Amino acid sequence: MLETASLLMLVSYATVMSITPGPNNLLLMSSGLLFGLRRTGWHMAGITLGVVALIGSVGAGLGVLFAWEPRLQWVLKILGSLYMLWLAARLWHTDNLGEVAAVSPVRFWEAWGFQFINPKAWLMATTVVAVFVPDGQGYWWRLLQVSAIFGVVGAPCIFVWAASGAGLRAWLGSPCVLLWVNRVMAALAAMTAGLFWG
């Protein structure tokens, strides 16, 4: 079991990394705005379980592969950037809220898989494993605990972003205003693709 000091540090780190702006939270806010909170549920579940799976995968050796072959980091950046640009285009070309019914929110497996090409998620996962899962006896049990705790702490943090988007939808009301807010979100998503290279 994690010691109290380690647990508090892990919870603090998970909170900061999960609630601060990044690709996941930007997409969740946009989804809450476009689709409402209920239809964003699978997106949130995919992110939460995807991050848990990524931490487990890094702990199981996937992180070593990226350290061994640095060109894979370029592949991550390219795929992550292309995905964000695709989502930005999808958001931008939703010309009116009537079209939202015809567009589906990000699906569970899309959100889950995105964690494996999301540089912020990789930074979180590699740091968590390096700091909170020391080599030695009980490694796998500790990795399981840390992954689960990160998921439990992260879920309410990302919920805040989806709920904020849903709240904006109700507060703004006007389809014209919502359209322009959505365009701003699309532009931010496109700019996020550029941040992958910073």
CA distance 55 to 128: 7
User: 40-80, pLDDT tens digit by residue?
Assistant: 999 999 999 999 999 999 999 887 777 777 787 788 778 87
Q: Quote the mean pLDDT of the chain.
A: 85
Residue 63 DSSP symbol: H
* Residue 100 pLDDT exceeds 70: no
- Amino acid 1: pLDDT: 67
- Amino acid 12: pLDDT: 93
Section 162-189 average pLDDT: 80
* Residue 183 pLDDT exceeds 90: no
Section 173-192 average pLDDT: 76
Phi and psi for 170 in degrees, rounded to 5?
-70, -35
CA distance 89 to 92: 5
User: 121-164, pLDDT tens digit by residue?
Assistant: 988 898 899 889 988 888 999 999 999 999 999 999 999 999 99
The model carries a pTM of 0.82
- Residues making up the chain, counted from first to last: 198
Q: Under 8 Å CB-to-CB from 177, ≥6 apart: which residues?
A: none
